[in-house]
Structure 1
Amino acid sequence: MFPQAVTIAGSDSGGGAGIQADIKTFQERRVFGMSAITAITAQNTKGVQAIHPVPIDILEAQLDALNDDFAISAVKTGMLVDEAHIASVISRLQRFDWGPLIVDPVMIAKGGARLVSNEAIATIRENLLPLATIVTPNIPEAEVIAEMSIESTAQIKKAAKRIQLLGVKTVIIKGGHSEDKAESRDYVLDGENEFWLEAKRVKTKQTHGTGCTFSACITAELAKGASTEYAIQTAKKFITSAISQPLNIGHGNGPTNHWAHRKESQE
């Protein structure tokens, strides 16, 4: 049966992040993608102008419709809006057999502002992460989840262990926000195994939707039955290609190039 995956997240009218980035990534990885939209946003490469949460009954109707008809083998979450929406998603995920759950904890905007309330963060920590197979925070998000500051490699490892103790098996702390100017290094704690994902850092502002795309690629590979490590390594290569071959669209932080990997595979 053709692999099928779901993204539960917000819609990005600019097409670079959220649901749109996830579906593009699923398609590029040869996985049939579906979605349950948590919020409609008005945004472009310059920023977010407006957010309209989808009514919870409509969110639940989307999830129920997907479960009623499709053979879903992996699911990811992105922007979950608030405590009520998160609780609704959790209630459905507890009932559905949708395979591995990848949580991209969209909590912190690029400028540093929190996107969700303290109550919502607590719900993610206490109720969503115990259901998750993989969680993919960047450093600011890992600081919030682990409830500690991160300024060194040792603290990255300590934070990952704290997050893992919340019930999620695999923690990936992304290094895009680190001060390392030469490399982008992501720390992976998979069960008791640990390793680093390393790639040359690309000097660019064409990075809108990188977190969404990275976690979506992991989701797609797991939907196809890949091992956790293979899925993570593939996602690192995919997002590195997407960043290093920019489209230069828009006047702000432009989107990544979701089909860049095709050119590399042909070379």
Structure 2
Amino acid sequence: MNLLPSAPLGATPVRAMTIAGTDSGGGAGVAADLRTFALSGVHGCVAVTAVTVQNSLGVSAVHTIPPEVVAGQIRAVVTDIGVQAMKTGMLANGAIIDAIVDVAAEVGLGRDRAIPLVVDPVCASMHGHQLLAPEAMDTLRDRLIPIATVVTPNLDEVRLITGIDVVDGDTQRQAAVVLHEMGAQWAMVKGGHLRSSPRSADILYDGTEFLEFEHVRIDTPHDHGAGDTLASAMCSALAHGMSVPDAATFAKAWVSESIRWSYPLGKGHGPVNPLWRVAGP
């Protein structure tokens, strides 16, 4: 795959921000995002939305950050350091989503604005722990998705957001159409959870055409942080100035290699491994 360039030593690299929660086990959330940012030649900035008590077996507690502090982190970085792209992950509740959307208009974040926004609509952990309050789903649909440059749900998230149970390529496309109609400039419906297919296919749609990104399905139980890694890889590519389809191509290849080189950690699910970039064969 073609890798993203790094700035010369001593030069300021492109910048991106993740607006997401922490994972104390280091496999997902801001930890996963910052790994991919750094390995993609991007200086990563952070707006923390929640602190989770988490390990390879699951999430046992969540502490949310006040919405005004989340917005303040975004404002502080954009007005001083500047960023070329942002992504969202775990947002916890509707008040935090409202705060992000409000500050987005102020700093020029979102579709048709200066800073592209990747929305990874994290609703639950891979172990089923609720990471977005149920009452926040309407706020996600009505306020955040309409400002997304690209939204990247997995199949469980698609069902919660659109009500469509994706079982094949046709329903995957139907879901992409609905997400685009909600206001996202591009909708990328990930097919990694569609276990009936021998290949993992993601569908990208902009209201005009469907683009498909395929990779051989990799048989591993260690896929913690895969969604975060794909979204942060796409955010990195957008920060480097790539188009959404080119960013999707890069992100699909990046996360596929990260899954290929995933490793066991703890007693449960291990994380995907973007360190293949520096340690792989």
Q: TM-score range by the shorter chain?
A: over 0.9
Instruction: Report the equivalent of 1:63.
Output: 74
Q: Is 1:204 paired with 2:220?
A: yes
Q: Is 1:75 paired with 2:92?
A: no
Tell me the secondary structure at the aligned position of residue 16 of structure 2.
strand
Instruction: Report the equivalent of 1:187.
Output: 203
How many Å separate the matches in 2 of 1:162 and 1:18? Answer: 27
1:129 pairs with 132, 145, 150, which one? 145
CA contact (8 A) 1:238 1:261 kept: no
Shift of 1:5: 0.4
Q: Is 1:213 paired with 2:213?
A: no
How many Å separate the matches in 2 of 1:52 and 1:134? Answer: 28
TM-score by length of 2: 0.90
Shift of 1:193: 2.0
> Bigger shift: 149-158 or 7-16?
149-158
How many Å separate the matches in 2 of 1:95 and 1:174? Answer: 31
Shift of 1:4: 0.5
Q: Is 1:149 paired with 2:165?
A: yes
Shift of 1:114: 4.3
Q: Is 1:107 paired with 2:123?
A: yes
The AA in structure 2 aligned to 1:183 is R
CA contact (8 A) 1:146 1:160 kept: no
1:38 pairs with 4, 26, 49, which one? 49
Tell me the secondary structure at the aligned position of residue 140 of structure 2.
helix
Long gaps (5+) in structure 2 = 1-11, 110-114
CA contact (8 A) 2:188 2:205 kept: yes
Shift of 1:110: 2.3
How many Å separate the matches in 2 of 1:68 and 1:10? Answer: 22
Instruction: Report the equivalent of 2:176.
Output: 160
Question: Among the aligned pairs, what percent are the same residue?
Answer: 35
Tell me the secondary structure at the aligned position of residue 168 of structure 1.
coil
Q: Is 1:117 paired with 2:133?
A: yes
Instruction: Report the equivalent of 2:193.
Output: 177
CA contact (8 A) 2:49 2:65 kept: yes
Shift of 1:234: 0.6
Tell me the secondary structure at the aligned position of residue 70 of structure 2.
helix
Q: Alpha-carbon deviations, 1:8-28, whole Å to 9, x = none?
A: 000111111001100111000
How many Å separate the matches in 2 of 1:8 and 1:126? Answer: 19
How many Å separate the matches in 1 of 2:60 and 2:27? Answer: 15
Q: Alpha-carbon deviations, 1:58-102, whole Å to 9, x = none?
A: 223212211221121100000000011111111111211241000
Q: Alpha-carbon deviations, 1:17-70, whole Å to 9, x = none?
A: 001100111000001100000001111111112110012232232122112211
Long gaps (5+) in structure 1 = none
How many Å separate the matches in 2 of 1:198 and 1:148? Answer: 22
The two structures, once aligned, show a CA RMSD in angstroms of 1.6
How many Å separate the matches in 1 of 2:27 and 2:235? Answer: 18
1:51 pairs with 62, 87, 106, which one? 62
How many Å separate the matches in 2 of 1:108 and 1:153? Answer: 23
How many Å separate the matches in 1 of 2:210 and 2:256? Answer: 21
TM-score by length of 1: 0.94
CA contact (8 A) 1:12 1:19 kept: yes
